[in-house]
Amino acid sequence: MKKTNQAEKDFREMSDALKASGYSEKLVTIKQSQVMLGGLLCALPFASAFGAAYRLLLTDRAHLSDASGLGFYAMFIGIVIISAFVHELLHGLGWTLAGGRGWGPVRFNLSALMPSCSYTAPLARGQYIAGVLAPFVLLGGGSAIFMFVYPGTISVLTMIVNFLLAGADLLIAFKALRGRGELIVDHPTKAGYVIFVKQPSVKE
């Protein structure tokens, strides 16, 4: 994985090039406390709805795990770690496919054993949102389908974890939908993005 300082360097070079081409820059980031609370509020309706569906429709054929105590926590932590890595990989894949610029601008970072991903190339709003929501759609939706196909402890935990991990993505996508800007670049180290707007040329 490439280090964060390389992502920041790539981002700054790209930002300087856009500014030199007549773009102005606007930072749109979310504080960590807002990410946690806002992301939780965005994700809870989905996790709760599918959790209720499991309780009402699937418990009679659920495959319940015998794990308890440390075994249960180890299973849960394993689900979180695997889901987090796949989640960030899907961000990179989503931006790569939507942006059409290949895998080159994708930057991964590992901090406190948790991965993160950024895309250091400018994207149209729809392209950016596609990459932001890729884990919610593919991983969250896929884990919900898995729960219906194979209901049980592992599939329910996987569904809950993946929707909760996508909560901050939903929050960022909502902000991007409401905002304006010609180009959007994912911030290399913070939750959020940078908007670049072309300034009108001044005629003498």
Predicted pLDDT of residue 178: 82
Would the pLDDT of 196 be above 70? yes
**180: DSSP letter:** -
Q: What does the alpha-carbon distance between residue 7 and residue 111 come to, in Å, rounded to a whole number?
A: 14
The torsion of the CA quartet 120, 112, 166, 56, rounded to 10 degrees, works out to 160
Would the pLDDT of 204 be above 50? no
Would the pLDDT of 141 be above 60? yes
Q: What does the alpha-carbon distance between residue 178 and residue 80 come to, in Å, rounded to a whole number?
A: 31
Residue 102: phi, psi to the nearest 5?
A: 80, -175
Which tens digit of pLDDT belongs to each residue from 51-78?
999 999 999 998 888 777 888 899 999 9
Q: What does the alpha-carbon distance between residue 6 and residue 8 come to, in Å, rounded to a whole number?
A: 5
Q: What is the pTM of this model?
A: 0.88
Which tens digit of pLDDT belongs to each residue from 156-181?
999 999 999 999 999 999 999 887 76
Predicted pLDDT of residue 1: 44
Percent of the chain with pLDDT over 90: 55
Which tens digit of pLDDT belongs to each residue from 107-130?
888 776 678 898 989 999 999 999
Q: What is the mean pLDDT of the segment spanning 93-116? A: 86
Q: Which comes out higher in pLDDT, residue 28 or 201?
A: 28
Q: How many CB atoms lie within 10 A of CB 40?
A: 14
